[in-house]
Amino acid sequence: MPDLLAPLKLWQQDFGFIAQSNNAAALLARSQRKKVLFSGLDSSLFSLLGFSPDAELPVAYYRAKKDHLMTALQAHQGAILCADPVHLKAGMSEIIMDTHTFDDLSDAEADSLLALLNQHFAEDGLQFIKGSANRWYLLLSVDDAIQTTPLANLRGKDIAKHLPQSEHINLHNIQNEVQMLLHSSEVNQQREQGGRLTVNSLWLWGGGSNLKARTRVRSVIGGGIQGEVVATVADCRYLASAVEPEKELSQLPAGGHHLLVLDQLTPFALKDDPEGWQQQLNKLETTWLAPAEKLLNKGKLKLILHDCDGNSFTPEKLNPLGQLWKKIKSNKVSLSEVLK
């Protein structure tokens, strides 16, 4: 559950916001808390699949497979990177990654921008391809040792210390040339005239080698494209959601691990919208956390909750007296109080 805890301290300080919770607070209150070596949703998911927290994530390769780009991948012998369209904005002394995800970018706009980039970089042996309107890739002519930071980790943050690094190719120069081309493109001029955010850069990331997961994960639920990618890596079942969450949880195959990706709080955290965040948490508690806690207390499953901010929480099931007390005390409590 990314952004379950991360924004709360600042929101309390800036807005006087106190997050109210029932199931999440109850689970955390009786949890063993541990520090983990990974943070961010992408790194958390891949680490739970058995990948090293220090390794470059092979997101581009597996995401491209989900985007039905196998023909291009099979014909390509070099490295592949996610080259996602982004908007960078200047701060007082930093360059900030905008939170916009370009869901409003049309296929026609994407095709036009990619054609512009491919025409310019053809002589350098670089090729940009499209998985969807806002999911692009860069094919490099060399199989390179690359270090990058997942895009999701940088939304709303300074990018200065997280620029992609390569041993054999100057990725900074590529990004600078890309930015100059995009700035003068007709697509961006039209978007700016229409009051829409421009695609003024690309973020290069996820260029790890095609490695197989070492995991006991048998199903992945939720997470959108990230969940689909993880299920592809683990070669397991994927469910976008569930009509009856409690029934779905109770019927999970025994003897393995199952990833439930509850990332619905993130858009509200990025927008600094505590009220929307609270409403979404209420929905998640009713839909997923209440059934999960119920099954935990019955001994039907074990839970480990990752906040994708360097912490894991392993809750114990309630004893009969604790369950009775919870029925009596049904009012929501503050998540902040639980973590003190």
- Return the minimum-mean-pLDDT range out of 98-102, 187-191, 335-339: 335-339
334 forms bridges with which residues in the sheet?
20
- Residue 55 predicted with pLDDT over 90: no
pLDDT for residue 320: 57
Sign, CA torsion 10/14/17/18: positive
**E strands along the chain, which residues?**
20-21, 31-39, 80-86, 88-90, 95-97, 127-132, 135-139, 146-147, 165-166, 201-205, 217-222, 237-239, 257-261, 305-306, 309-315, 333-334
pLDDT for residue 322: 56
pLDDT digits (tens, 9 = 90+) for 18-44: 999 999 999 999 999 999 999 999 999
Q: CA distances (Å), 248 to each of 124, 252, 266, in order?
A: 50, 6, 24
pLDDT digits (tens, 9 = 90+) for 89-148: 987 789 999 999 999 999 999 999 999 999 999 988 899 999 999 999 999 887 668 899
pLDDT for residue 332: 66
Q: CA distances (Å), 303 to each of 82, 312, 329, in order?
A: 32, 10, 23
pLDDT for residue 324: 43
Across the range 136-164, mean pLDDT stands at 90
146 forms bridges with which residues in the sheet?
166
Per-residue confidence band for 53, with pLDDT thresholds at 50, 70 and 90: confident
3-state DSSP helix/strand/coil percent for the chain, to nearest 5? 40, 20, 40
Q: Any idea what DSSP says for residue 229?
A: H
- Residue 215 predicted with pLDDT over 90: no
- For helices 59-66 and 224-234, angle between their N-to-C axes, nearest 10 degrees: 100
What does the block give as tokens for 148? Answer: 């990058």
User: One-letter amino acid identity for 276?
Assistant: G
Q: How far apart are CA 152 and CA 6, in angstroms?
A: 14
pLDDT for residue 298: 93
Per-residue confidence band for 333, with pLDDT thresholds at 50, 70 and 90: low
Across the range 310-338, mean pLDDT stands at 69
pLDDT digits (tens, 9 = 90+) for 61-84: 999 999 999 888 888 888 899 999
pLDDT digits (tens, 9 = 90+) for 228-286: 999 999 999 999 999 999 999 999 988 889 999 999 999 999 999 999 999 999 999 99
Q: How far apart are CA 278 and CA 273, in angstroms?
A: 9
